[in-house]
A and B are shown apart, each in its own frame.
Chain A
Amino acid sequence: MPAETQESRTRHPGGPAEQTHTGANPETIEKGKKLKEEMDALLDEIDNVLEENAEEFVRNYVQQGGE
């Protein structure tokens, strides 16, 4: 839960609170490869669950106004 996060307090912009590292060290390349695999797996699943006949489905999605 957020109340227990240990991020240091940064009042003004001076870089993101969660640093991202760049540069081509082997760890980064490995991480990038893993991320690519995870993203491929994700997109495979999106392909599987996405409604077929997207065009028709989106066209037929009409709501009367609410609130």
Chain B
Amino acid sequence: MTIVVEARGVGKQYVRGAGQHRRLRTLRDALSEWAGRVVRRKPSDRSTVRAERFWALKDVSFTIEQGEVVGIIGRNGSGKSTLLKIVSQITAPTAGEVRLHGRTGTLLEVGTGFHQELTGRENVFLNGTILGMRRSEIAQKFDEIVAFSGVENFIDTPVKRYSSGMQMRLAFAVAAHLDPEILVVDEVLAVGDAEFQKKCLGKMEDLSRTGRTILFVSHNMSAIDRLCSRVIWIDGGMLIEDSRDAYAATTRYLFGDGGKSTLKAEWRPPSDHAFETEYFSLRWFRVRDPEGRTITRPIRNDEQAFIEIALNIKKMHAGLEFGCAVINEAGVYVFMTLASDQADANWPKMTVGDVVLSAAVPPRLLNEGLYRLDLMAGLYGERWFSVHFSTPYAVFLRIQGGMSDSSHWRNSRPGIVAPILGWSGTAHPATAGVERAGPLR
């Protein structure tokens, strides 16, 4: 494979407070500083507003091969955008160097280089030229660009009358049709509706299939998982992780354990550390399919899964409670379920010895995404041995696809859960036999 991007010890230093901020640094400050230097005296008090230097990016090195789709992840202010700005030549690094082998197309944020007074058509040509296309190339691809952006009807309207979503779509359309060898994309998915986001992801997939290299910053982890063959995780300006297992890396990033644990579907001592109390020891905790196999792959939303807690009960206690809390990627507590949720008569039997508790996760309940299941174990009314958010005993489940059997709504939908409710319809009450429950009459 040929290497297309080589970053060696890239660093970028900014000055906080003075320096870059025009309000604080005036020509007067600069002149007095300069005068001070010439006279070889200490600079005047005004200019000694201590400029605090900090590294927005420090000693970042990596190489990217042709055709790789690299997701760059990290919290806000971690340095991802600075890295993209350096790679796309918008700002120069303070240290290190980046070698690029190929034409770079950049798409940073909304409305890249659009002029508000010009029409969509004029902006396509303007933007295309700025991004390095020849006029004939743009003309050749113009219809395709416009069709992709979906703003055909407004192509001769000044861009200032576009919504931000329309501008972004047009901007992305131009950048995607630019045929760059290296495409640098920052957070395009933040704008635009689900439909267009899907289109963007699809286009990026197409580009990567034709050997283009993509550097892609996003906070949308499912997009990163889907698209990226590799993840670079940056935090505090430093490279935390560079992994070709995007799924594992995004999971570690999301569940914030500093990259120590791996994504797991099963907790089973002795390979995992034991969970022993005076009442029980945990034999395993996992998510399994109906055939009893541990689910390690993503499952469809309509697939049947079971939560399984296997115990060795050493001493009975009337208040023994087991269950789990389900937490999604955003850290939202989706639901909690306990073995004693039902009427007392239906509680699972627990006796001294080996016990396997299991519960079916209702299909068609969880939305697409990654879930963490935190083991809950305790004595009712007394204490918890293991409780959500603080427990080390957690397994993961990923839901992907199978959102509906409808021909209309097959994609992931907004919302914490994605149940399919059984809608029914009735004809006009006067003309049809209304089926209603008795007490309503």
A is bound by B = no
